[in-house]
Amino acid sequence: MAKVRNNVVTRGWSGSFGEQMVIKIDKAGRAIVGNKPEFDENRVFTPAQLAHQQAFREARIYAKDAKEEVVYVAKAEGTPISPANAALVDWFHAPEIKVIDLSAWRGEMGQQIRIEALDDGKVTQVTVVITDEMNAVLEQGAALEGDGSWWTYQTVTNIPVETTPKVLVSAQDLPGHIKQMTKNLN
């Protein structure tokens, strides 16, 4: 697909020209020229294609409601994308947990567990669950947002390291996607 900028021939044009090409103008004022799409009227979609179409419908519903979120407005500012498109992109990407830093935690009350959680929109919540080797919950709670992409959880109980504690971290983004990661203390 060709992108044309400030061309005297295509200035002000948009739409379909015959059965050969389509010209549209994007948010930045660029004329985009491409072949007219052709579709077989009798095509049959695969289950994966149908699932993706449904996911896209759900993403559009989310984007319509979320387009006024500050994070999406800021992401779209100065770019050819709209806040709704930024929300649509965010809907398709779950947050990512990069690091669970247990270096300052030795199982004692009042120590910190640091988590680096990223998202292309915004991470809204990070929770921490500490379990023993049999997956019995020993402690759980919400982490507090810190600098940049870092979150901090402060422990509230003493946990013997002999119990081989595991730390399960969950990160949630604006569309509500949740990503989890587990790390053992030892």
CA pair distance 114, 143, nearest whole angstrom: 8
> Residue 42: inside a domain, yes or no?
no
Read off the pLDDT of residues 102-141 as tens digits, 9 standing for 90 and up: 999 998 999 999 999 999 899 999 999 999 988 999 999 9
> Residue 159: inside a domain, yes or no?
yes
User: Nearest 10 degrees: CA dihedral of 96, 101, 107, 108?
Assistant: -110
Read off the pLDDT of residues 31-90 as tens digits, 9 standing for 90 and up: 788 888 788 889 899 999 999 999 999 999 999 999 899 999 999 998 888 999 999 999
For every residue of 19-44, DSSP letters joined together read: TTEEEEE-TTS-EEEEEPP---TT--
Query: What domain range includes position 8?
Result: 2-35
- Residues 158, 80 contacting (CB under 8 angstroms): no
**Closest to 166 in 3D by CA, of 144, 134, 141:** 134
Threshold 0.95, pTM exceeds: no
CA pair distance 90, 121, nearest whole angstrom: 6
- 163 against 183, higher pLDDT: 183
| Angstrom distances, CA of residue 84 to CA of 3, 17, 91, 175 | 22, 29, 10, 13
CA pair distance 170, 3, nearest whole angstrom: 42
Residue 162 is part of a domain; what is its CATH number? 2.60.40.1220
Same domain, 101 and 27: no
CA pair distance 170, 128, nearest whole angstrom: 7
Same domain, 31 and 54: no
